[in-house]
Structure 1
Amino acid sequence: MERGGKSGTPSTSESSSPEEEMGIREMEITGHRLIIHERDDSSDPSTGRALTGSWLWDSAIHLAEWMAADGGPRLAGATVLELGAGTGLPGLLAAAMGAARVVLTDVAPLLPGLRASAEANGLGSRVEVRELRWGSGDQAVAEADVVLMSDVFFDAEEMGGLASAMRAAWGESTTGWAASEVRPGVGECLEALRREGFEVVEVEERVRPLLRAEGETSAFAVYRIRRA
Structure 2
Amino acid sequence: MPLASASVVAAVAEKVQRSTEKRVFVGWRREKDTDCTRYGSFEYRCAPSGKILRIDESYSSTGTRVWDTAVAMSRLFEKRGVRGTILELGAGTGLLGMALSARGADRVVLTELGAVVPHLEKTVERNALGNVRVAELDWTDGDLEEFRGFDLVVASDVLICEQWAVALARVLVVLRTETYVGTARGRDGVGYFLRAVEPAFEVSALPPDAFHPDFACPDILVFHLAPRSSSST
Per the TM superposition, whether the score is higher than 0.5 is yes
Matches of 1:52 and 1:198 in 2, distance apart?
28
Matches of 1:121 and 1:82 in 2, distance apart?
17
Matches of 1:109 and 1:177 in 2, distance apart?
25
Q: Which residue of 2 aligns with 1:45?
A: none
Contact persistence 1:101–1:126 (CA under 8 A): yes
Q: Which residue of 2 aligns with 1:74?
A: 82
Q: Which residue of 1 aligns with 2:198?
A: 194
Question: Runs of 5+ in structure 2 lacking a partner?
Answer: 4-27, 31-36, 229-233
1:140 aligns with 2:145: yes
Q: Secondary structure of the residue that 1:108 maps to in structure 2?
A: coil
User: Deviation at 1:162?
Assistant: 1.3
- Matched AA of 1:202: A
Q: Which residue of 1 aligns with 2:14?
A: none
Matches of 2:215 and 2:172 in 1, distance apart?
30
- Matched AA of 1:62: A
Matches of 2:61 and 2:134 in 1, distance apart?
17
**How many aligned positions are there?**
192
Contact persistence 1:134–1:161 (CA under 8 A): yes
- Matched AA of 2:45: E
Matches of 2:170 and 2:192 in 1, distance apart?
17
Q: Secondary structure of the residue that 1:162 maps to in structure 2?
A: helix
- Aligned residues: CA RMSD: 3.1
Q: Which residue of 1 aligns with 2:75?
A: 65
Matches of 2:151 and 2:52 in 1, distance apart?
23
1:162 aligns with 2:180: no
Question: Runs of 5+ in structure 1 lacking a partner?
Answer: 4-11, 15-19, 42-49, 211-216
User: Deviation at 1:89?
Assistant: 1.0
Contact persistence 1:102–1:126 (CA under 8 A): yes
Matches of 1:22 and 1:184 in 2, distance apart?
21
TM-score (ref. length: structure 2): 0.70
Q: Which residue of 1 aligns with 2:109?
A: 103
Matches of 2:38 and 2:161 in 1, distance apart?
31
- Greater share of strand: 1
User: Deviation at 1:146?
Assistant: 0.8
Q: Which residue of 2 aligns with 1:87?
A: 93
TM-score (ref. length: structure 1): 0.72
Write the mapping of 1:106-185 to structure 2, written as runs, cut at 5 A.
Answer: 106-123=112-129, 125-142=130-147, 143-170=149-176, 174-183=177-186, 185=188
User: Deviation at 1:188?
Assistant: 3.4
Change (3 A) 1:208 1:190: farther
User: Deviation at 1:107?
Assistant: 0.7
User: Deviation at 1:182?
Assistant: 1.4
- Greater share of helix: 2
Q: Which has the higher contact order (CA 8 A, sep 6+)?
A: 2
Q: Identity percentage over the alignment?
A: 29
